[in-house]
Amino acid sequence: MTKIRSRKRSDAASVEDGQVAKFLHESMLPEHVAETRHFVKFCRNSLFIRTWLLESFAKKPATQIAFRKLLADPAGIGAGAPLWSPLMTRMVLSEPPRPAAGTGPYGGLTEACLLALIKRYQGGGMDVLTFLLVRLWTRLAAAGHKDVPAGFLDAIATHWTAVASDPSGRLARDFLRAIRFFGEREGQVIGEADFGHTNSWKIHVLLYLLDYPKPRYQVGELHANLPVKYRRVDRRSVRQFCKEHGIRRDQKPGERPALADDS
């Protein structure tokens, strides 16, 4: 038994030494070399990038000119530029939507806002982005993915900076809590029992909003569409939940009158 444990420690140390050696090697490369290594990796991993680079960019002067303009001034490039299809160009240049407050289709909220609220309540007070990134990462690891998806790169780099530079250590603690949360449920279906009664009914309300977009919602409607086991939740709690998150309510005859500042 002692020999087995010793061998396992030795194997773990060997892996760790290899990872450190790899990091030190790559971190000491000149920046332009490191960038080129990543460029080669992207090209190898993406048939789309290889095809565009070797066909459109290599053989079409108009594409080369448009790409130089894109690098110089992204804001000056329109969707019709001879780079990719108009749809592809719009997506490459897109930014997160920033609608005016209260103009979303879900009682004034946007889809992104609802999804963030759902993750907040699923995380039970953990930092939302930390909880979300750990969740996505555990799914990728379970599926055998080793490379970081391109869509995660900026978020991961930005959030890692935030975690490492947080003097309170709160983000680091939330990171560990999220890892523990999903680690304890590895291979299991994560459901409402894992989120607790207090948060689960709120998640159901938010999911109902996602399924049925409206300018306003009646409290009675939201309460009636809760699963039966949550019908004991007081309607006043549902009303307070809507007020807390700015969900517009529809006050029609027959519903209990609104309290002060009830919008």
Beta bridge partners of 181: none
Average the pLDDT over 128-152 and give the result.
87
| Residue 106 near residue 214, CB atoms below 8 Å | yes
Q: The pTM is what?
A: 0.72
Average the pLDDT over 170-175 and give the result.
94
pLDDT of residue 6: 60
pLDDT of residue 73: 92
Average the pLDDT over 77-93 and give the result.
91
Q: Is the pLDDT of residue 3 over 60?
A: no
SS3 162: helix
Domain ranges within the chain, ordered by starting residue: 2-93, 125-194
Range picked from 44-58, 116-130, 148-162 for highest mean pLDDT: 44-58
pLDDT of residue 262: 44
Size of the chain in residues:
263
Work out the percent of the chain whose per-residue pLDDT is above 70.
Answer: 90
The alpha carbon dihedral of 114, 118, 120, 121 has a sign of positive
Kindly state the helix (H) or strand (E) to which residue 179 belongs, with its residue range. helix 170-183
Tally of CB atoms within 10 A around 13: 10
